[in-house]
Structure 1
Amino acid sequence: MQNEKLKVALVTPPGLLGLQDWQAILIDRLRSDPRFEVTGQIVGGIDRRDRSGTLLMRLLMRAEQVLAARRILPYDTQPAADFLSTLPVTQDQADLALALGPASLTKYQLAQLRFGEWAVAFGGMSDPFKAAMTTGAGRAPHVQVEIHSRSYEDPTQRVFRQTSYNRKPGSVLTGAFVAEKSILFLYHAMNELAERRSVPETRQLPEATREKPDFESSLVYAFNLVSDVSEKLKSERLARAGQIRESWQLGSSSGPVSGFHPGKAKGLPRSSCIMADPFLFEHQGQQWVFFEAMNAEDINGRIEVARLEGDCLTEPVTALKCTYHLSFPFVFRAGDSIFMMPETQAAKRLEIWRCTKFPDEWELHAKAFEGQYLADSSMYLGDDGRWWLITNLSDHFAFQDHSSELYLFEVDGPDLKTIKPHPKNPVVFGSDCARNAGAIIRQGDRLFRPSQNNSHGVYGFGLNLMEIIKLDETEYEERFIRQFTPKDRPGVKGMHHLSVAGGQIVMDWSSAE
Structure 2
Amino acid sequence: MTRRSTSRSTASTIASPLYAMPPNLTRPLRVVLVTPGHIPVWLSRFLQLAADTSWLAVSILPVSGASLPKAAPPAPDVRMFLAFDRARRRGANAMLRPVPLRARDCLTLATPVAGDAATAELKERVRELQPSLVLSLGPRSWSQALADCASLGCWDIDAGLVDADWAGVSLLRPLVEGSTSTEFAVELDGAPLAPWGQARTIGATRHGSFGAQRDTVFRRLPLLLMRMMHRLAADEFVPPNRTALLRQATARPLPVGASAVAFASTMSTAVQWQFQKGRKVVPWHLVLCGSKQSIDPSAPRVVPDAIVQSREANYWADPCAVETDGRQLIFVEEMWPDHKGVIACVELIDGTAKRLGIALEESAHVSYPQVFESDGQWYMTVESSQLRRVSLYRATDFPLGWERVCDLVTGRVCADPTLHFQDGHWYLFATVSEDGNGTWDELFVFVSKSLTGPYRPHPANPVVSDVRRARPGGRLFRRDGKLIRPAQDCAANYGSALVFNEVLSLSPTHYEERPLSRLSPDWAAKLVACHTYSASETLEVIDARGYPDPGTPSLEPIEPPAALRISGNPVAEAMAGSASAVPVPVAPVSRAPSATPGRDSPQQ
How far, CA to CA, are the matches of 1:100 and 1:461 in structure 2?
A: 41
Q: Quick check: 1:394 aligned with 2:424?
A: no
How far, CA to CA, are the matches of 1:285 and 1:74 in structure 2?
A: 59
Shift of 1:491: 2.9
Q: How does 1:364-375 map to 2 (within 5 A)?
A: 364-375=404-415
How far, CA to CA, are the matches of 2:88 and 2:215 in structure 1?
A: 15
Contact 1:486 1:495 in 2 (8 A): yes
How far, CA to CA, are the matches of 2:136 and 2:274 in structure 1?
A: 37
Shift of 1:410: 2.1
Please, which moves more after superposition, 86-95 or 253-262? 86-95
Amino acid at match of 1:392: T
Shift of 1:153: 4.1
1:19-46 deviations in whole A, cap 9, x for unaligned?
A: 3321211134346644345586999999
Q: Quick check: 1:278 aligned with 2:344?
A: no
Report the secondary structure of 1:51's partner residue: coil
Q: Quick check: 1:466 aligned with 2:504?
A: no
Amino acid at match of 2:448: V
Tell me the equivalent position of 1:294: 335
Amino acid at match of 2:526: G
1:287-326 deviations in whole A, cap 9, x for unaligned?
A: 211111224x233012222224687634453322333212
How far, CA to CA, are the matches of 1:134 and 1:84 in structure 2?
A: 38
Amino acid at match of 1:167: T
Report the secondary structure of 2:283's partner residue: strand
Tell me the equivalent position of 1:20: 40
Report the secondary structure of 1:423's partner residue: coil
Give the number of the structure whose residues are more often strand, by fraction.
1
Contact 2:209 2:266 in 1 (8 A): no
Tell me the equivalent position of 2:5: none
Contact 2:42 2:96 in 1 (8 A): no
Q: How does 1:45-124 map to 2 (within 5 A)?
A: 48-49=71-72, 51=74, 53-66=78-91, 77-79=99-101, 86=108, 114=152, 117=155
CA change 1:431–1:310 in 2 (3 A) is farther
Shift of 1:195: 0.9
Aligned counterpart for 1:166 among listed residues 204, 207, 218: 204
TM-score (structure 2 length as normaliser): 0.69
Contact 1:133 1:171 in 2 (8 A): yes
Q: Quick check: 1:216 aligned with 2:260?
A: yes
Shift of 1:510: 1.3
Tell me the equivalent position of 2:470: 434
Amino acid at match of 1:351: S
Report the secondary structure of 1:432's partner residue: coil
Aligned counterpart for 1:423 among listed residues 452, 459, 467: 459
Report the secondary structure of 1:26's partner residue: helix
Shift of 1:18: 5.2
Shift of 1:363: 2.5
Query: CA RMSD for the aligned pairs?
Result: 4.2
Which structure 2 segments of 5+ residues have no match? 1-23, 110-120, 241-248, 549-604
Tell me the equivalent position of 1:327: 367
CA change 1:248–1:115 in 2 (3 A) is farther
Tell me the equivalent position of 1:253: 289
Shift of 1:423: 2.6
Tell me the equivalent position of 1:29: 49
CA change 1:441–1:214 in 2 (3 A) is closer
Bigger radius of gyration, 1 or 2?
2
1:347-380 deviations in whole A, cap 9, x for unaligned?
A: 2222222222232222333335444322211211
CA change 1:110–1:511 in 2 (3 A) is farther
1:101-158 deviations in whole A, cap 9, x for unaligned?
A: 9x878997898685774869999x996664555433443212211122211441x656
Q: How does 1:120-135 map to 2 (within 5 A)?
A: 130-135=169-174
Report the secondary structure of 2:302's partner residue: helix
Report the secondary structure of 2:237's partner residue: coil
CA change 1:17–1:478 in 2 (3 A) is farther
1:206-249 deviations in whole A, cap 9, x for unaligned?
A: 67214576552243144134235425xx54x67xxxxx512111
Which structure 1 segments of 5+ residues have no match? 239-243
How far, CA to CA, are the matches of 2:472 and 2:97 in structure 1?
A: 30
Q: Quick check: 1:409 aligned with 2:446?
A: yes
CA change 1:177–1:119 in 2 (3 A) is same
How far, CA to CA, are the matches of 1:198 and 1:370 in structure 2?
A: 31
How far, CA to CA, are the matches of 1:445 and 1:208 in structure 2?
A: 41
Contact 1:117 1:150 in 2 (8 A): no
Aligned counterpart for 1:346 among listed residues 386, 407, 416: 386
Report the secondary structure of 1:407's partner residue: strand
CA change 1:6–1:48 in 2 (3 A) is farther
Amino acid at match of 2:45: I
How far, CA to CA, are the matches of 2:50 and 2:490 in structure 1?
A: 30
Amino acid at match of 1:263: V
CA change 1:56–1:192 in 2 (3 A) is closer
Shift of 1:391: 1.9
CA change 1:9–1:372 in 2 (3 A) is closer
CA change 1:440–1:32 in 2 (3 A) is closer
CA change 1:257–1:223 in 2 (3 A) is same
Report the secondary structure of 2:26's partner residue: coil
Contact 1:245 1:512 in 2 (8 A): no
Shift of 1:436: 0.6
Tell me the equivalent position of 1:3: 26
Contact 2:136 2:154 in 1 (8 A): no
Contact 1:377 1:392 in 2 (8 A): yes
How far, CA to CA, are the matches of 1:449 and 1:49 in structure 2?
A: 44
Please, which moves more after superposition, 487-496 or 80-89? 80-89
Contact 1:185 1:429 in 2 (8 A): no
How far, CA to CA, are the matches of 2:490 and 2:526 in structure 1?
A: 18
Q: Quick check: 1:480 aligned with 2:489?
A: no
Tell me the equivalent position of 1:451: 487
Contact 1:350 1:369 in 2 (8 A): yes
CA change 1:230–1:134 in 2 (3 A) is farther
Amino acid at match of 1:275: W
How far, CA to CA, are the matches of 1:207 and 1:329 in structure 2?
A: 41
TM-score (structure 1 length as normaliser): 0.80
CA change 1:130–1:245 in 2 (3 A) is farther
Tell me the equivalent position of 1:241: none
